Amino acid sequence: MEKLIIKGGVPLTGEIKISGAKNAALPILAASLLSGAPIQLSNIPHLQDVTTIVSLLGQMGVNITLDERSNIEVQAASLTSFHAPYELVRTMRASVLVLGPLLSRFGEAQVSLPGGCAIGTRPVDQHLKGMQAMGAEISIENGYIKAKAKRLHGATIVMDLITVTGTENIMMAAALAKGQTIIHNAAREPEVEDLANFLNVLGAKISGAGTSTIVIDGVDELGGGSYHVLPDRIETGTYLAAATVTRGRIKVKNTRPDLIESILLKLEETGAHIDTGTDWISLDMKGNRPRSVNISTAPYPAFPTDMQAQMMAVNAVGEGSGVITETVFENRFMHVQELLRMGADITLKGNSAVCNGTDKLHGAPVMATDLRASASLVLAGLAAKDETSIDRIYHIDRGYECIEEKLTQLGARIHRIPSESKQ
Ligand code: EPU
């Protein structure tokens, strides 16, 4: 297993480009199962999770071609399998996104139940409930979701809670269903809207995506088309937070400030000076230590749970104390134990983390437990004195494209080593 070695204490400065959004690319790739025609996708990030979904599609018989500029052409003319095996789903829960498209276009799917993960139990009951309302017969056998349907029909679905991939799965299933589906209490995340925009390019009839009521008028078939995936708002926020913890000054390009208003407001509260254009954001700490902030995570447009761990690193080095409350996942504080090893002062009280900031964070060997937790440790390492080594960084490769290269471009001292080798 590889490690990241970081020598902290350098204020980040410079410019980087933001990649395409992981959490839009994954459902869009899954949605390509809904059409037999060729689809060209651009701004797909180079990430382990993308490789996982591409191999899943490949195993099902989808034709996939990558060109040298990392555009992907996908064509699911016919499939040889409707099966998403445990071995793949276990490594990436988003594999469950093939359920809706398979059921809708081919009338059958066997998808492994994802099981628990490092950030919570994460059931998929809402995905199944929605598809059952549309006429699917679903059973759970030997750890697999087995779903069948002659042709799904439209339905009015009220989600019991806001779920991003749940909304996406039902929206994809409804795209080829007979009649109209209405999803109430839908997730409003920009990635849900991006998926709807993509499906509409292929000929779907979806309106209201980005609001809490989505209306899908089912069509008989979808065609081909080209689509450019939206920028990654969490990657954007992570680099801005990295500049904040290091008291730096950076500009991120190829991004969308309108997608991260809640994050920008919190960063401003820390003392960051922020400027934006249509596709760029600059952040300048003017050499000052950030102030700690209070945050409560919630579905979009509120503060995203996927930025909670990174803001914990900001509070760890911030002036004063801040309370971070996690309301989306029940177990998303695994990074706290690791930050304590670096000298942070954080106390967990139920789903809140009370942090008294210190300007004496020190390097330590730490272990990544999930994707965003690993980003938090990278940020802490960049701010800390001395050297931090982060183990199990395969987590970070799931969601951050070329992270060492981008941070090196911003002046960070960071490199990757194989676990066993001496530094
Ligand atoms: N939930 C249920 N039942 C369901 C579905 C969800 O109880 O059927 C619960 C979950 O356990 C959780 C809450 O609802 O407590 C919200 O979960 P959601 O379904 O929205 O999460 P997700 O769709 O599995 C996506 C992102 C996550 C991100 C969350 C929340 C993708 C591929 N993943 O997950 O991204 O944290 O939404 O915004 O879109 C990440 O990128 O690091 C990541 C974990």
Confirm or reject: Cβ of 123 under 6 Å from ligand 1. yes
d(CA 310, CA 313): 5
8 Å CB contact between 401 and 25? no
Q: Ligand 1: which of 22, 145, 328, 335 to mutate, most ligand atoms within 8 Å of CB?
A: 328
**For residue 1, what pLDDT is reported?**
83
C-beta of 23 in contact with ligand 1 (< 6 A): yes
What is the reported pLDDT for 351? 96
- Work out whether the CA dihedral 18, 188, 197, 94 comes out positive or negative: positive
Residue 391 to residues 66, 112, 148, 328, Cα–Cα distance (Å): 31, 28, 42, 26
* Percent of the residues in the chain that have a pLDDT greater than 70, as a whole number: 98
Query: Residue 204: what pLDDT?
Result: 98
Q: How does strand 321-325 pair with strand 295-296?
A: parallel
Active-site residue flag, 355? no
Q: By the 8 A CB rule, do 223 and 200 touch?
A: no
Radius of gyration of the chain measured on its C-alpha atoms? 21
Mean pLDDT, residues 26-37: 98
Alpha-carbon torsion angle 403, 407, 408, 412, nearest 10: -130
Distance between Cα 412 and ligand 1 center (Å): 32
**What is the structure's pLDDT at 210?**
98
Q: Is the pLDDT of residue 169 over 70?
A: yes
| Residues 252-282: tens digit of each pLDDT | 999 999 999 999 999 999 999 999 999 999 9
Mean pLDDT calculated for residue range 153-161: 98
Cα separation of 13 and 191, whole Å? 29
Is the pLDDT score of 409 beyond 60? yes
CA of 295 to the centre of ligand 1 (A): 19
| CB 222 less than 6 A from any atom of ligand 1 | no
Residues 6+ apart with CB under 8 A from 38: 73, 74, 75, 224
Q: Which of 117, 182, 323, 402 is catalytic?
A: 117
Average pLDDT for residues 351-364, to the nearest whole number?
97
Q: Quick one: which of 382, 388, 230, 398 has its CA closest to 306?
A: 398
Q: What is the mean pLDDT of the chain?
A: 96
pLDDT at 422 > cutoff 60? no
Residue 423's pLDDT is what? Answer: 47
Best of 23, 138, 296 for a ligand 1 pocket test (most atoms within 8 Å of beta carbon): 23
Q: What residue has token string 């911030």?
A: 318
- How many A from CA of 37 to the centre of ligand 1? 30
What is the structure's pLDDT at 45? Answer: 95
22-31 vs 233-245: helix crossing angle, rounded to 10: 170
Q: Is the dihedral of CA 198, 200, 204, 208 positive or negative?
A: positive
Q: Is the Cβ–Cβ distance between 382 and 12 less than 8 Å?
A: yes
- 121 has a pLDDT exceeding 80: no
pLDDT average, residue stretch 360-386: 96
Which residue puts its alpha carbon closest to atom 25 of ligand 1? Answer: 164
CA distance 404 to 413: 9
pTM for this predicted structure: 0.97
In this structure, the strands spanning 352-356 and 345-349 are: antiparallel
What's the pLDDT at 116? 65
Whether 120 is in the pocket of ligand 1, judged by its Cβ within 6 Å, is yes
Ligand 1: residue whose CA is nearest its atom 36? 306
DSSP annotation of 228: E
